[in-house]
């Protein structure tokens, strides 16, 4: 024989579902008229249904019966209240859409790769680094969560090259999953931005020479993306090592002296496992470190002429050109409006272990025309600082 079901009906659930408040006495009366027994306690009713009402099983069944007996016409039509609020948006925040548009404008295509990767391939990119392994993976080739964007992007490059795509330019945004005992669920999820290029610099054309991509091609693309922040001076590159990148062709990406990513050429030992044909350049950085810009400050354009002075400095080959440029900017202050490194030379006429840096300085003032003595004074200060800091000398 069927048994009477015992169902709990909550006052807040009844009101929320119907959008209308029915008095307690009316609710109890309706249920009892249906042949149910009702016990009330703390805005809750424990309802024991009749044995012949085998269609009563869950709380929603009771709500439906209360509404039916009460009368649908007695429930007023009340429009739901929806309050609109302005989103919290800072003018200094850069939208991800803007970053993607910049990549597309520079000839990249967006890739969407799996967050699950082959643990063997990932171990080649991150040897010895612990990864989160899925207990029930789709397949053994998709059993580990990615530690970086490198594995997926390199696999995509190899896939495209095996299908006669000689020029590959891809970018991707997504999460990486790094085991961390201090994070929720023991894994730290971090939004990353990665890009990779391979093949020739430009599409085949009769007026252009076919050249293979190099480190500076992708570095130029990256600097264009960093330029969206209007804070290029906060970013810098420093030579480093990475197990997946070629020694001597690898650099850290820093913002305010904090490492936020890496850029470099893929290590030759990884070319065959990933099926790469030719030189492949890749970078990855933390997305959160990129999406914060400095608000641009408008300044009047000077009405006075600019003056250019070229210098050729001889420094140790270990001295970074970026450090030299930063020191010149610091010493030149407001009069220095332009600075460009246009040549780096090592060879005949330069001592072994040294290199020559040819730098163009543009000097200009917003209030007056600079006289020769003003320019000479500034140049002397720059050369003195370079001599003190880097033991630099002018090339004969």
- Distance, in Å, from the CA atom of 194 to the CA atom of 172, rounded to the nearest integer, reads 5
Q: Mean of the pLDDT values across residues 338-357? A: 92
pLDDT in tens, 355-392: 999 999 999 998 899 999 999 999 999 999 999 999 99
Tokens of 129: 């680094």
Measure the CA dihedral 12/18/24/30, to 10°.
Answer: -130
User: Would you say 236 and 322 are in contact if contact means Cβ atoms under 8 Å apart?
Assistant: yes
Tokens of 146: 């990615």
Residue 145 has pLDDT above 80, yes or no: yes
- Distance, in Å, from the CA atom of 280 to the CA atom of 213, rounded to the nearest integer, reads 8
* Domain range 6-74, its CATH number among 3.30.10.20, 3.30.56.10, 3.40.190.10, 2.60.40.10: 3.30.56.10
Architecture of the CATH domain 307-394: 2-Layer Sandwich (3.30)
Question: How does residue 82 score in pLDDT terms, banded at 50, 70 and 90?
Answer: confident
Tokens of 378: 């500034």
User: How distant is the alpha carbon of residue 180 from its chain centre?
Assistant: 20
Write out the CATH class of domain 96-286. Answer: alpha beta
Q: What is the pLDDT of residue 176?
A: 95
Q: Mean of the pLDDT values across residues 145-163? A: 95
Average pLDDT, the chain: 92
User: Would you say 293 and 228 are in contact if contact means Cβ atoms under 8 Å apart?
Assistant: yes
CATH 3.30.70.380 domain position(s) in the chain:
307-394
Q: What is the pLDDT of residue 357?
A: 94
- Distance, in Å, from the CA atom of 48 to the CA atom of 338, rounded to the nearest integer, reads 85
CATH 3.30.930.10 domain position(s) in the chain:
96-286
Q: What is the pLDDT of residue 233?
A: 83
Q: What is the pLDDT of residue 358?
A: 95
pLDDT in tens, 257-300: 999 999 999 999 999 999 999 899 999 999 999 999 988 888 88
Residue % of the chain over a pLDDT of 70: 100
CATH 3.30.56.10 domain position(s) in the chain:
6-74
pTM above 0.75, yes or no: no
Instruction: Taking the CA atoms of 90, 91, 92 and 95 in sequence, report the sign of the dihedral they define.
Output: positive
């Amino acid at each position: 024989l069927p048994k009477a079901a015992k169902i709990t009906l909550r006052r807040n659930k009844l009101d929320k579902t119907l959008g209308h408040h029915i008095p307690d006495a009316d609710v109890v009366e309706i249920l009892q008229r249906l042949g149910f027994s009702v016990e009330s306690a703390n805005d809750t009713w424990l309802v024991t249904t009749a044995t012949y009402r085998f269609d009563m099983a869950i709380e929603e069944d009771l709500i439906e019966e209360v509404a039916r007996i009460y009368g649908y016409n007695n429930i007023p039509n009340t429009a739901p209240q929806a309050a609109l609020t302005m989103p919290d948006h800072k003018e200094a925040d850069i939208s991800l859409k803007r970053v993607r548009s910049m990549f597309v404008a520079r000839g990249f295509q967006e890739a969407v790769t799996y967050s699950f990767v082959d643990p063997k391939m990932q171990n080649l990119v991150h040897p010895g680094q612990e990864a989160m392994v899925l207990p029930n993976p789709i397949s053994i080739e998709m059993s580990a969560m990615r530690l970086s964007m490198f594995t997926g992007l390199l696999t995509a490059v190899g896939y495209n090259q095996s299908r006669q795509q000689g020029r590959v330019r891809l970018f991707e945004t997504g999460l990486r999953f790094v085991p961390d005992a201090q994070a929720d669920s023991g894994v730290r999820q971090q939004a990353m931005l990665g890009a990779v290029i391979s093949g020739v610099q430009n599409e085949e054309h009769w007026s252009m020479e076919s050249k293979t991509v190099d480190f500076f091609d992708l570095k130029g693309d990256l600097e264009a993306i960093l330029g969206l922040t209007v804070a290029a001076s906060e970013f810098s590159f420093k030579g480093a090592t990475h197990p997946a990148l070629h020694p001597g062709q690898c650099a850290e990406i820093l913002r305010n002296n904090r490492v936020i990513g890496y850029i470099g050429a893929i290590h030759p030992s990884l070319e065959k496992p990933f099926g790469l044909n030719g030189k492949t350049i890749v970078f990855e950085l933390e997305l959160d470190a990129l999406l914060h810009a400095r608000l641009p400050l408008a300044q009047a354009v000077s009405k006075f002429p600019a003056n250019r002075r070229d210098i050729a400095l001889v420094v140790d080959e270990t001295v970074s050109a970026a450090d030299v440029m930063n020191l010149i900017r610091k010493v030149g202050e407001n009069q220095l409006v332009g600075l460009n490194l246009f040549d780096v030379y090592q060879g005949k006429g330069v001592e072994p272990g040294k290199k020559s840096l040819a730098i163009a300085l543009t000097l200009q003032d917003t209030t007056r025309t600079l006289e020769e003595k003003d320019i000479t004074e500034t140049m002397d200060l720059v050369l003195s600082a370079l001599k003190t800091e880097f033991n630099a000398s002018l090339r004969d």
